[in-house]
Amino acid sequence: MKNINYVVIVVIIITVFASCKSDKKGQPKIDDLVEANTDNVVEVIAKDFIFQVDSVIPSGWSTFRMKNTGMMEHFFLLTKLPDSITFNDYITGVGTAFGKSWNAYKNGEVDKEGAYGILGANIPEWYANATPMGGIGMISGGQTGVTTMKLTPGNYVMECYVKAVNGQFHSELGMINPITVTDNVTKMEPPVANVEVILTNDSMEIKGKVISGKNIIAVHFKEHPEVGLGNDIHIVKVDEKTNMDDVTFWMDWLNIGGLTSPGPAIFLGGTHEMPVGYTAYFHCTFEGGDYAFVAETPIGRFKIFTVE
């Protein structure tokens, strides 16, 4: 009995001493917590028309969770900037070029080909070396999108280019943020998917079955068009009122009324393009019913599926 008491007292003393020690130093305790927390979640709040998000995030795998608390549809596309290029260079160079092109088309000064010509003539040369690095696909007001992606260190731009009723891009109204991705690498591993999507220029191949409840959908980027936006994927709810021609028309930013709130259906997320060889994982919870995968690129691509 005496011996047991002695052991208990010694253990208590050692425990108190050890916790005092780590409290005093502070650091070891924090490191332990970071190591234990392998899921790195980056919270994003989308409002009409701002993003609330940390401006500095680690590299490696992270899960981005964006709640759309606004009335309008929102998404975010991440673009990694070439080393010498700043956030302001992006706004003045890329933002202005898209604005000029869209305004000329909207005002009836040029056709679509002419609008793309204006875009090509005004976009800065360095834009060829900027890299689309995924994002969260289109989400309707009140919905939450969740996408897991791997990022490399560097300077990024987060933006939404849905259009307001007056035709201005949300990025022009404030939905554009600089993000620094640091050398600190998360300890997160990519999730396990129950559905795989393979995107090429000619096809959207779906492997596996979307089920009622939680799904993790892996999107493999195998190919992209040589010019313009890359192949991407978004999810839309399909009901008796949904017209897929309206949906695909709406997904084209260069249509009058395209990407302009309010959208023609309920959007539930997805992911934007990443470089060839990358995989993004989006998480989506479904009830029974009909849905469609729909692309911004290539224009007109969609595939309807049923969740039982």
Residue numbers at the binding site for Cu ion (CB under 5 A)? 74, 160, 162, 170, 175
- Distance from C-alpha of 244 to C-alpha of 40, rounded to nearest angstrom: 36
Pick 97 or 175: Cβ nearer Cu ion: 175
> Taking the complex as a whole, how short is the minimal distance between the CB of residue 172 and Cu ion, in angstroms?
11
- Angle ∠(265,235,147) on CA atoms, nearest 5: 130
Residues facing 267 on adjacent strands: 236
Q: What is the CA radius of gyration of the chain?
A: 23
Residues 6+ apart with CB under 8 A from 128: none
Pick 72 or 193: Cβ nearer Cu ion: 72
> Taking the complex as a whole, how short is the minimal distance between the CB of residue 205 and Cu ion, in angstroms?
30
> Taking the complex as a whole, how short is the minimal distance between the CB of residue 277 and Cu ion, in angstroms?
29
Residues facing 197 on adjacent strands: 206, 219
Pick 160 or 218: Cβ nearer Cu ion: 160
- Angle ∠(253,255,261) on CA atoms, nearest 5: 65
Pick 40 or 232: Cβ nearer Cu ion: 232
> Taking the complex as a whole, how short is the minimal distance between the CB of residue 165 and Cu ion, in angstroms?
13
> Taking the complex as a whole, how short is the minimal distance between the CB of residue 141 and Cu ion, in angstroms?
10
> Which tokens in the block code for residue 67?
């709640």
> Taking the complex as a whole, how short is the minimal distance between the CB of residue 74 and Cu ion, in angstroms?
3
Pick 74 or 220: Cβ nearer Cu ion: 74
Pick 87 or 278: Cβ nearer Cu ion: 87
> Taking the complex as a whole, how short is the minimal distance between the CB of residue 162 and Cu ion, in angstroms?
4
- Distance from C-alpha of 110 to C-alpha of 105, rounded to nearest angstrom: 5
- Distance from C-alpha of 177 to C-alpha of 140, rounded to nearest angstrom: 20
Pick 50 or 254: Cβ nearer Cu ion: 50
Answer yes or no: are the C-beta atoms of 93 and 114 closer than 8 Å.
no
What residue ranges in the chain does DSSP mark as E strands? 41-47, 50-52, 56-68, 74-80, 131-139, 144-151, 154-159, 176-185, 195-199, 204-208, 213-221, 233-238, 267-271, 279-286, 289-294, 302-307
